[in-house]
C-alpha cells in the first residue's frame, strides 16, 4: 500500500484521493471510520495523523501527562459514523443489578492520545503486538490473554518482511459472511481475543472478549517511504466485574506505528473508554491522566523489549 503523488494519480486516470482530515480529533475519528476502506481513503487518514504530528503532536512524544497538562492529550468524542460499521451490540448493559440496556452512545467514551518513539523497527514492533501471549509482553496490564487468528498470521508477518502487500482498490467488507480474508491476508489480519486485565484502582474485571485487527503497508511521508502498522480495537459489548459494581462499558482504540530513521518506530495510540465504578467519571482529569500514562507505559515497555533491556519468554 503506497500513497501516490496527485499528478501521477490524475495521469493514470485514477480516482482523486479524498481530502485528509484536519487535526487530531478529525483524524482519529476518520481512521476509526475508514480502517477497512480502499487505499486512497485509508491513506488520507494516515496523512491526517502525520500532518497533525508534524504541526503539533511532536511536542508530546515520550511525555507523560499530569493533572495540569492532561487536556493537551485529550481527543474529541467519537461520532456515530466512526463506529457504525463495526459489529457492536446496539444496546449496552449499563447497570448490572437493574438490568438496564440503553442504546450505545459512543460520545460517552472519552479519548486520549499518547506518542512515543520506540527502539523498534516498525515490523519488529508489529511482530511483538501480533503475539498471542500479550500478558507476557504487557505483564502489568494483563493477568491473562488468549488470541484467535481469523486468517494466516504467517502470511501477514512475511508480507512485512518482504514489503509485499495486497492492493486494496475497493472498500473491504470484513464483517460480511462472504468476505475472503485470505485474499487480503498480506495486508489485513483479523483477530478475536479474550482479555483478563489486572485490577485497576481496586476494580477487578472478569475476562472479556475484544476484537483487534491489524493493517500494514508503505506510505510516502514527505520524501521518504515509511512502513506502517495500524491497529483498531473495540469491545462488542460491555465488560463487567463479578461483583456487578465495576465495568468497562465501551472501549475503542486506533493505533498507528510508523518507521523512523535509526531503526525506531513512532507510536501514536488513541484510546476511548467508558469505565463505570470506583467513583471516577470517564471524563475526569484523574481518569484521563491515568489513561494517557498507561498508554505511554505500554509503549515504553515495548521499546524496552525491542532494545533487549527487558527480556521476555519466547512463544
- Between CA 117 and CA 51, with CA 31 as vertex, the angle to 5 degrees is 55
Residue 4 confidence (pLDDT): 44
Residue 315 confidence (pLDDT): 87
Q: Establish if 15 belongs to a structural domain.
A: no
| Residue 226 domain boundaries | 24-307
Average pLDDT over residues 186-212: 87
Q: Establish if 8 belongs to a structural domain.
A: no
Determine the 3-state secondary structure of 310 from DSSP: coil
Q: What are the phi and psi torsion angles at 94 (to 5°)? A: -105, -15
Residues 6+ away with beta carbon under 8 Å from 58: 115
CATH number at 207 reads 3.30.530.20
Q: What is the pLDDT of residues 232-263, one digit of tens each?
A: 999 999 999 888 888 999 999 999 999 999 99
Q: CA nearest 92: which of 278, 239, 193?
A: 239
Which residue matches cell numbers 448490572?
96
Q: What is the pLDDT of residues 29-87, one digit of tens each?
A: 999 999 999 999 999 999 999 999 999 999 999 999 999 999 999 999 999 999 999 99
Residue 33 confidence (pLDDT): 98
Give the number of domains in the chain.
1
Q: Establish if 314 belongs to a structural domain.
A: no
Average pLDDT over residues 266-276: 96
Q: Establish if 50 belongs to a structural domain.
A: yes
85: which 3 cell numbers? 460499521
Q: Establish if 18 belongs to a structural domain.
A: no
Average pLDDT over residues 113-121: 98
Share of the chain above pLDDT 70, in %: 94
Sign of torsion over alpha carbons 162, 163, 167, 173: positive
Q: Establish if 268 belongs to a structural domain.
A: yes
Q: CA nearest 284: which of 273, 295, 300, 271?
A: 273
What confidence category does residue 16 fall into, taking pLDDT thresholds of 50, 70 and 90?
A: confident
Determine the 3-state secondary structure of 267 from DSSP: strand
Q: Establish if 3 belongs to a structural domain.
A: no
Q: Is the pTM of this model over 0.85?
A: yes
Q: What are the phi and psi torsion angles at 273 (to 5°)? A: -145, 150
H helix and E strand count, the chain: 8, 9
Q: Establish if 5 belongs to a structural domain.
A: no
Decide if 117 contacts 58 (C-beta within 8 A). Answer: no
Amino acid at each position: 500500500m503506497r500513497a501516490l503523488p496527485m499528478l501521477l494519480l490524475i495521469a493514470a486516470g485514477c480516482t482523486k484521493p479524498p481530502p485528509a482530515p484536519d487535526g487530531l480529533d478529525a483524524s482519529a475519528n476518520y481512521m476509526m471510520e475508514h480502517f477497512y476502506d480502499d487505499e486512497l481513503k485509508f491513506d488520507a487518514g494516515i496523512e491526517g495523523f502525520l500532518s497533525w504530528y508534524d504541526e503539533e503532536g511532536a511536542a508530546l512524544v515520550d511525555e507523560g501527562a499530569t493533572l495540569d497538562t492532561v487536556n493537551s492529550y485529550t481527543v474529541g468524542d467519537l461520532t456515530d459514523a466512526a463506529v457504525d460499521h463495526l459489529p457492536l451490540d446496539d444496546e449496552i448493559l449499563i447497570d448490572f443489578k437493574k438490568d438496564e440496556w440503553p442504546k450505545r452512545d459512543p460520545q460517552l467514551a472519552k479519548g486520549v492520545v499518547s506518542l512515543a518513539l520506540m527502539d523498534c523497527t516498525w515490523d519488529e514492533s508489529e511482530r511483538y503486538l501480533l503475539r498471542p501471549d500479550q500478558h507476557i509482553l504487557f505483564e502489568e496490564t494483563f493477568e491473562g490473554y488468549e488470541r484467535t487468528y481469523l486468517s494466516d498470521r504467517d502470511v501477514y508477518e512475511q508480507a512485512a518482511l518482504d514489503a509485499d502487500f495486497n492492493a486494496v482498490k475497493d472498500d473491504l467488507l470484513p464483517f460480511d459472511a462472504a468476505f475472503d480474508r485470505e485474499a487480503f491476508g498480506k495486508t489485513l489480519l483479523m483477530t478475536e481475543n479474550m482479555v483478563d486485565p489486572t485490577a485497576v484502582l481496586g476494580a477487578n474485571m472478569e475476562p472479556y472478549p475484544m476484537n483487534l485487527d491489524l493493517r500494514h503497508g508503505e506510505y510516502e511521508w514527505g520524501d521518504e517511504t515509511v512502513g506502517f502498522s495500524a491497529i483498531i480495537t473495540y469491545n462488542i459489548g460491555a465488560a463487567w466485574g463479578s461483583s456487578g459494581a465495576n465495568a468497562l462499558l465501551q472501549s475503542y482504540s486506533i493505533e498507528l506505528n510508523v518507521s523512523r530513521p535509526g531503526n525506531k518506530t513512532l507510536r501514536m495510540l488513541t484510546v476511548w473508554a467508558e469505565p463505570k465504578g470506583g467513583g471516577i467519571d470517564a471524563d475526569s482529569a484523574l481518569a484521563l491522566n491515568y489513561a494517557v500514562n498507561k498508554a505511554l507505559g505500554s509503549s515504553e515497555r515495548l521499546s524496552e523489549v525491542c532494545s533487549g533491556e527487558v527480556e521476555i519468554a519466547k512463544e
